[in-house]
Amino acid sequence: MIQLKSVVQQLSPKDFQIIEEQFQKSKANKYLCLFNQLRESELSEEEILGQLTQNKAAYYTLKSRLYDKIQDFLLSNSTDKKVGLIRNVANIEKILFSSPKISAIASLIKMEKKLIEYNMTRELILVYKALRKLHLCTPKYYEFSKLYNKCVAHIITLEKAHDLLSRFTKTTGEYLISRDQDDLEVLTFMQQEMDELSDHHHSHHQTIYRNIMFISYQIYTGISEINEKKYPIPVLLEQSENILSQNSEEASYRHLRPVFDFLAFEYYHKLNDEQNALHYFDRVNSMLGTFLLADHCCLSAHFLISKVERYSKQGLMRTLVSEDQLLTTPISDADEASYIFYVLYKASILFYSAEYTESIHLMEDLLQKLNFTKRLHAEIEVKFLLALSYRLEGKVDQSFLLLKSLARKIKLRKNKEYPQARYFMAFVRAGQKGDFQNLEKKLRQQMDSFAARNKGNYRVLGILNMDEEFIHNYATRLLKVSKNTKTAT
């Protein structure tokens, strides 16, 4: 049900209208009713089942068929110019066995030119394989063999680069939630491997994959040198933009453009360059639902964290609450890093909406669902926000016990990477003995000490804008909770 609902809600308004009109014309009322309910209502599955007056077996069959009809529509309405060429390539065997050699060669040569024009290397392999067979007894056999081998080598290299980028993206997520030096060493080794691969196999595809990796590496590790060479991010972004513009017919590039918009936003956001960040932010944010699916080639879910950071600094959290209602793309807990980013995003929205109980439930569920043994950085962020929420809900004992156990874990770290932690803990514990005199002043002192040390790769809680208003509201809430507790007692 969740998958079908997501598919229906992510349809463009134009596609939704066309499918709706098709159901109306064919008088497929059951399909039409379910289609509209999934798009527009917040009814539960049981309530929708009741409206359709069907038994469960018939209802599940209806859902399955509706899903198939939507997929068939999306496939049949593809306007990609390459579809016709792919159909021709699929007929190569028929050409080989049913056409005279001269005609077959002529057809294949014409196909070759079109495939080269559209940069369809995988399909070219099949064309050169066929041309090689047709020239088995001529000198051209060796010519087409070379072309065939060249295409195969190119595809193998690209597949290796793409696989390397996917594994790099996964490891980047693991590094961001652990900040472990072993993960960093793996990332460094991967980008060195990609650099060597690019040096030996030159192509614009290879350059695109390399640039995604190199930009990501520098943004998330803060290391600017790769194999003792400098690759400035603005230069890589400009180079990538030129490649994408010059190869606008390349289907994969149309899908990769939002990835570079995201990387550009992350870069300028990290530099606090609001003017440049805004341009790229709007591009990604306008298609956030589909962009999050690009998690195999970039850390797409981290956009949610950067978005909260941006909105909280600009006082736009109310806007984020309304925007979040439109986000229907599910994020699986199988991708632990992305899932942690997603839960922190959701929990921070609830926190800023003063819905502390709901925020607490989200984070408690996260801590039970995932193993944080080797995820200390993420554990600190989640438990700091949870401890803060506990305190604001008057759950003082739970808040202090959580911080006490976390303090022990941080103390065991050899390199003492989190000097800011003690000051945030002191901030949360303020007034624990009922001493609320000069509370705001004490809170401000602790927060100033925290902010002075909360920098670099071990910075935490960027999703909270802990400014004067935040401190004032926290102090006010503590006094209110304290009075309510005393009254209840």
Q: What is the pLDDT of residues 42-73, one digit of tens each?
A: 677 777 777 777 777 777 778 878 877 887 77
294, 340: one domain:
no
DSSP string computed for 47-83 = HHHHHHT--HHHHHHHHHHHHHHHHHHHHHT---THH
296, 308: one domain:
no
DSSP string computed for 86-122 = HHHHHTHHHHHHHS-HHHHHHHHHHHHHHHHHTT-HH
Q: Is the dihedral of CA 133, 137, 139, 142 positive or negative?
A: positive
Asked if residue 386 is part of any domain, the answer here is yes
pLDDT tens string 100-109: 899 999 999 9
- The answer to whether the beta carbons of residues 222 and 457 sit under 8 Å apart is yes
163, 283: one domain:
yes
Asked if residue 62 is part of any domain, the answer here is yes
Asked if residue 93 is part of any domain, the answer here is no
* Angular region, 434: left φ>0, alpha ψ -120 to 50, beta rest: left
120 has a pLDDT exceeding 90: no
402 has a pLDDT exceeding 90: yes
- The answer to whether the beta carbons of residues 381 and 344 sit under 8 Å apart is yes
In angstroms, the CA 427 to CA 447 distance is 7
The identity of residue 310, as a single letter, is R
DSSP 298: S
195, 340: one domain:
no
Which of 75-89, 91-105, 169-183 holds the top average pLDDT? 169-183
57, 195: one domain:
no
Cα dist from 123 to 89, 91, 155, 297, whole Å? 7, 12, 11, 23
Cα 168 versus chain centre, distance: 14
* Angular region, 168: left φ>0, alpha ψ -120 to 50, beta rest: alpha
Asked if residue 477 is part of any domain, the answer here is yes
Higher pLDDT pick, 23 / 449 = 449
Work out the pLDDT band at 305, boundaries 50, 70, 90: very high
- The answer to whether the beta carbons of residues 295 and 248 sit under 8 Å apart is no
Over range 238-253, report the average pLDDT. Answer: 87
Over range 125-144, report the average pLDDT. Answer: 96
2 has a pLDDT exceeding 70: no
- The answer to whether the beta carbons of residues 82 and 89 sit under 8 Å apart is no
- The answer to whether the beta carbons of residues 427 and 450 sit under 8 Å apart is yes
Burial class (CB in 10 A: 0-12, 13-18, 19+), 207: middle
262, 314: one domain:
no
In angstroms, the CA 400 to CA 311 distance is 29
Asked if residue 241 is part of any domain, the answer here is yes
Asked if residue 360 is part of any domain, the answer here is yes
Containing structural domain, residue 183: 139-300
Token output for 453 = 């040390």
Looking at residue 75, what is its pLDDT? 57
In angstroms, the CA 436 to CA 430 distance is 8
| Range in 187-201, 241-255, 328-342 with the lowest mean pLDDT | 241-255
Higher pLDDT pick, 46 / 257 = 257
- Looking at 176-334, which runs of residues are DSSP E strands? 225-226, 229-230
Mean pLDDT of all residues belonging to the chain: 89
323, 373: one domain:
yes
In angstroms, the CA 380 to CA 421 distance is 9
170, 263: one domain:
yes
The CATH number of the domain holding residue 431 is 1.25.40
The identity of residue 421, as a single letter, is A
Work out the pLDDT band at 397, boundaries 50, 70, 90: very high
180, 44: one domain:
no
Work out the pLDDT band at 5, boundaries 50, 70, 90: confident
Instruction: Give the end of a domain, one of 21, 51, 76.
Output: 76
In angstroms, the CA 111 to CA 117 distance is 10
In angstroms, the CA 231 to CA 215 distance is 8
Asked if residue 131 is part of any domain, the answer here is no
Cα dist from 238 to 118, 231, 242, 260, whole Å? 23, 12, 6, 10
Over range 220-242, report the average pLDDT. Answer: 87
pLDDT tens string 362-378: 999 999 999 999 999 99
| Range in 52-61, 83-92, 117-126, 274-283 with the lowest mean pLDDT | 52-61
In angstroms, the CA 298 to CA 278 distance is 20
Instruction: Give the end of a domain, one of 57, 76, 95.
Output: 76
Instruction: Kindly state the percentage of the chain with pLDDT values over 90.
Output: 62
Higher pLDDT pick, 414 / 464 = 464
- Return the axis-axis angle of helices 140-178 and 204-221, rounded to nearest 10°: 10
Cα dist from 68 to 16, 53, 186, whole Å? 15, 22, 42
Work out the pLDDT band at 80, boundaries 50, 70, 90: low
Looking at residue 342, what is its pLDDT? 96
Work out the pLDDT band at 485, boundaries 50, 70, 90: low
488 has a pLDDT exceeding 60: no
Give the number of domains in the chain.
3
Instruction: Give the end of a domain, one of 255, 275, 300.
Output: 300
Looking at residue 1, what is its pLDDT? 45
Q: Which residue has the tokens 């003690």?
A: 422
262, 180: one domain:
yes
In angstroms, the CA 105 to CA 97 distance is 12
Asked if residue 86 is part of any domain, the answer here is no
285, 388: one domain:
no
| Range in 9-23, 288-302, 379-393, 399-413 with the lowest mean pLDDT | 9-23
Length of the chain: 489
In angstroms, the CA 442 to CA 122 distance is 66
251, 316: one domain:
no
